[in-house]
Amino acid sequence: MTKSTVKYFCKNCGYSATKWLGKCPSCEEWNSFTEEIVNKTDHSKKLWNKSESGTPTKAIQMQEIEKGSETRTLLPDSELNRVLGGGLVSGSITLIGGEPGIGKSTLLLQLALKINQHVLYISGEESESQLKMRAERIGITNQNCYVMCETSLENLISFLQKSSPELLIVDSVQTLSSDSIDSPPGSISQIKYATAELLRFAKSTGIPVFLIGHINKDGNIAGPKVLEHMVDTVLQFEGDRHYNYRILRTLKNRFGSASEIGIYEMRGDGLREIENPSEILISEREELLSGITISCAVEGIRPILLETQSLVSSAVYGTPQRTSNGFDLRRLSMLLAVLEKRCGFQLGVKDVFVNIAGGMKLEDPGLDLGIVAAVLSSYQNVPINSHIAFSAEIGLSGEVRAVSRIEQRISEAQKLGFKEIMISKYNKGIDLKSYQIKIIQIGKVEEAFEYLFG
């Protein structure tokens, strides 16, 4: 007998309770519980029937497992290959999250049109004619790309049993719903159930699946965190509406590094991969301006040179403002405190604004030195030569610290035609003679000041 009960789920972490709670005991989020109707016996009956009738599972010895059985397909999108850790693993399930309108559907439809495989694109959000219009905008025709507008999980699964695509794309997981769950589409139970079914499909057939997921106000993928635990890879597509650049970031990857980024430009005819981001992130300037420096950061394994800008002006109100775009505000406050204490700059009475050009958001500590140089340049109103790049971390006592992958950073700056790069003297083992670029090694912030303005 099927018995329906009401359960309460935390929207944030998926914790379930029998009564409504104001604060989630698991993730401590307030006011995150929603009511859902759960079919109790249905699940358990199905589960037991499956394991009785299905092939018996058995455990195998670790030694017996053949190495390298995971096969990867290289996708016709180098940025996507990069964030996936070198291609798409067969039978893997990848969740792509992002704000509405950022370009998730465009990214995956473009992939479906470019790839030389039988692709099934399930859309629960757009009609066939809307998808056609989008495909026309992208301007690629592909006979292997099939589209289906479907929101019923049962219909989808029965269709998948008949047809055998080589890649499945679901746009979006929130639109799929199953009859065996009483809660409305988009509810936590529905999303979890649909994901679990698609996971089973992917693992049993070896067909890779891409799921598009919406994100909520806080920037988390809508639905519980359990969704992120279930899938193999979680990618986040982000960007600023005012810029055309989009960043695809790995949040979790069972098959590779989780610190990779892919960069795209949104154009009238779809997304364009940007293989060499430094070239677009550094603007051509005719005259030298104060408060602008070029920093070299590393995201994943890729060095990126970009413009770090700062404006220092006298505080109008009693409390000076610190504003930062793309750089951690607390880190900026720390750097300003270091400058005040170690170099004696009166930044406590100044408003300080910092901006990373191109709408990029980076967390690499290697940006510190470039930010500090930009602040000093604006403070003094003295421009810094545009042929110098910066890459070092700054510690609390004003020491200039070593950063990772320094050789790659130096090579990238050299490749882009910079004449000098300022780094930490604690980055040991650099073969200075092998570079044409002049490498300035410093140990303290004061030395940077001396070199630039002394």
Question: From ligand TYD, Mg ion, none, which one binds at residue 103 (CB under 5 to 8 Å depending on kind)?
Answer: ligand TYD
Using CB distances below 5 to 8 A depending on partner kind, what does residue 450 bind out of Mg ion, ligand TYD, none?
none
Neighbours of 142 (CB within 10 A): 14
What backbone phi and psi angles, to 5 degrees, belong to 368? -50, -50
Number of residues that bind Mg ion (CB under 5 A): 1
- What's the sign of the alpha-carbon dihedral 400, 401, 403, 407? positive
For the bound state, the minimum distance from the C-beta of residue 4 to Mg ion, rounded and expressed in Å, comes to 33
Find the shortest distance in angstroms from Cβ 212 to ligand TYD. 7
Is the CB of 118 or the CB of 137 nearer to ligand TYD? 137
Output DSSP code: residue 444. B
SS3 206: coil
Could you tell me where the DSSP H helices lie in 208-254?
226-230
Which residue, 83 or 376, has its beta carbon nearer to ligand TYD?
A: 83
Minimum CB distance to ligand TYD smaller for 99 or for 340: 99
Q: How far apart are CA 75 and CA 108, in angstroms?
A: 11
Helix H segments across 206-261?
A: 226-230
154 burial (CB, 10 Å; 0-12 / 13-18 / 19+) is middle
Which residue number, 58 or 242, has a Cβ lying nearer to ligand TYD? Answer: 242
Of 136 and 363, the one with the shorter C-beta distance to ligand TYD is 136
DSSP for 78-96, written as a single string = HHHHHHTTSSEETT-EEEE
Based on CB atoms, which residue is closest to ligand TYD, 202 or 212? 212
Looking at the Cβ atoms of 130 and 257, the one nearer to ligand TYD is 130
CA pair distance 60, 115, nearest whole angstrom? 35
Distance in Å, CB of 274 to ligand TYD, minimum: 15
Rounded Cα–Cα distance for residues 403 and 7 (Å): 50
In whole angstroms, the minimum distance from the beta carbon of 139 to ligand TYD comes to: 8
Applying CB under 6 A, the residues found at the interface with ligand TYD are: 98, 100-106, 134, 137-138, 266, 268-270
DSSP string, 358-373: GG-----GGGHHHHHH
Buried b (16+ CB within 10 A) or exposed e, 327-339: bbeebbeebbebb
Choose the one of ligand TYD, Mg ion, none that binds residue 221, judging by a C-beta under 5 to 8 angstroms depending on kind: none
Does residue 32 belong to the site contacting Mg ion (CB under 5 A)?
no
**Exposed/middle/buried for residue 159 (C-beta within 10 Å: 0-12, 13-18, 19+):** middle
The rounded distance, in Å, linking the Cα atoms of 164 and 205 is 9
Helix segments in 84-214, DSSP class H? 104-114, 128-138, 153-162, 188-205
With CA atoms as reference, report the closest residue to 126 among 175, 92, 86.
175
Q: What does 224 interact with, of ligand TYD, Mg ion, none (CB < 5 to 8 A by kind)?
A: none
Choice between 22 and 100, CB closer to ligand TYD? 100
Q: Which does 138 bind (CB under 5 to 8 A by kind): ligand TYD, Mg ion, none?
A: ligand TYD
Residues 95 to 114 in contact with Mg ion, rule: CB under 5 A: 105
Q: Which is nearer to ligand TYD, 226 or 266 (CB)?
A: 266
Q: How far is the CB of 135 from ligand TYD (least distance, A)?
A: 9
If the CB atoms of residues 137 and 254 are measured against ligand TYD, the closer one turns out to be 137
We find the least distance from the C-beta atom of residue 94 to ligand TYD, in angstroms, to be 15
Distance CA(298)–CA(362), nearest Å, equals: 9
Length, in residues, of the chain:
454
**Distance in Å, CB of 359 to ligand TYD, minimum:** 15
Report in angstroms how near the CB of residue 137 gets to ligand TYD at its nearest.
4
Nearest distance in Å: CB 149, ligand TYD: 15
Residue 330 tokens, joined: 């607390």
Give min distance, CB of 388 to ligand TYD, in A: 36
Q: What is the C-alpha to C-alpha distance for residues 328 and 288, in angstroms, rounded to an integer?
A: 26
Q: Find the shortest distance in angstroms from Cβ 236 to Mg ion.
A: 15
Q: Are 280 and 239 in contact (CB under 8 A)?
A: no
| Amino acid at residue number 451 | Y
Task: Give 98 or 124: the residue with its C-beta nearer to ligand TYD.
Answer: 98
Count CA within 13 A, CB hemisphere, residue 133.
Answer: 5
Interface with Mg ion (CB under 5 A): 105
